[in-house]
Chains A and B, each alone.
Chain A
Amino acid sequence: MSQANPTSAAKALPLQEGVQGIVADWSSDQRAFKNVPWGKAMMWIFLLSDTFIFSSFLISYMTVRMSTTVPWPNASEVFALHLFGRDIPLILIAIMTFVLISSSGTMAMAVKFGYEKNKKMTFILLLLTAALGATFVGMQAFEWSKLISEGVRPWGNPMGAAQFGSAFFMITGFHGTHVSIGVIFLIIVAIKVKRGDLDHQRPGFLTGRKGNYEIVETMGLYWHFVDLVWVFIFAVFYLW
């Protein structure tokens, strides 16, 4: 670790690596998470709590699915779309997956350009990420309407076990809400970048903390987490 900034206490002493580093960090004064901005450490801890929420949903889904004696609807058929004159299984979900992964890619690059203080590219990539996120939510709304029109309800459905509807609406609904909130915050951060709030360290409207390109990375952590949750939902809900 180079000692580039001698005025910063966090960098004044060389940090230990390995297990000794863990012990030293955790037993040190003031802060356990060295070399990360405060907001980033807090975002990680928030994401950890969110991980537990989504895990509880997915594990309870597993529990009801394993314990029901009624056959579970075949996701491959339920989520098929009739395209080009034939039924393609799970096609909408596959497209949604690619859209969300692409938005993660653009977000990662936005973080990179943010740290390079490249305002224009950061702004464009953040808006692109938001657009892909909004596309995802739009497709999810389409999927919900399709299932609702086919008679799927949280308390029952014509295809099989009643728990299918409750698990589906609960899990994808909670995930979709996360995506929607993410899109709103992506637009807010994009506007901050465009206006130069981060270059000039203007205080934010909500927290009053000084603007800094670190918030782009913190925003990115949230957005990648949303993608991460979708990986698990895609595997255990749609492919099981």
Chain B
Amino acid sequence: MMRRLPRWAGMALALAGLALAWQLAALVLDRPFLPGPGAAAAAMARLLARGDLSTHAGASLRRVLLAVSISFAPAAALGLAAGRSARLDAIVAPLLYILHPLPKVAFLPVILVALGLGEASKVFLVGLIVFSQIMVAARDAASRVPRETVDAVRSLGAGRLSVAFLVIVPASLPDLFTALRVSLGTAIAVLFLAETFATQTGLGWFIVDAWARVSYPEMYAGIMALSLAGLGLFALLDLAERLACPWRSRRPY
């Protein structure tokens, strides 16, 4: 049997494959809007040296992290509670079913008018999207916790609060991490859109600006930075999940 590839080797292989496909496409098309990976990497190195790219990446990352950290806990708490309490769910579920499928980006103009052009509007929009996705996942996860697991703890005399913290929260954690991963992708996409409006920081603005300046290598440097930022966030989430859910992957000894 073939031995499994170490993680770093798999990552390097995937990157090399992407670069190769990119290079081939650039050679075949031979048009200015698709420079090769070499030119984009050179632009990226130049921008990094000047400090531009890190400023913009930092601004985008800060917005995403802020939005996620503000919305995660209340969304998870409300979703878990709704998943366990029929009385609460009777109020929450209809709201969720009406509001969750709505594309929150559609409210971007309203949010911009209401919260201004500064950081608040972008953080709020991203936070809103993360909130509804986490809440949907938390509600489903909590309602799926096996009755026997809950009863086992209840039969030992545990009250509602003990059941919530000893059973419902840990049982739902893996699902919450999956929801975070999914919503992170959406969050970055929406942030990109929000950053193209009325701001001069963030990778979204940087990419559109480079496009307007017909500086394609810089545009691709921005796209690569966005993808690296996403990769970094995913790696961070993986680490957090390994620490928070050790029973899922490793034995403690």
Question: Do A and B assemble together?
Answer: no
Chain B interface residues toward A at CB < 8 A:
none
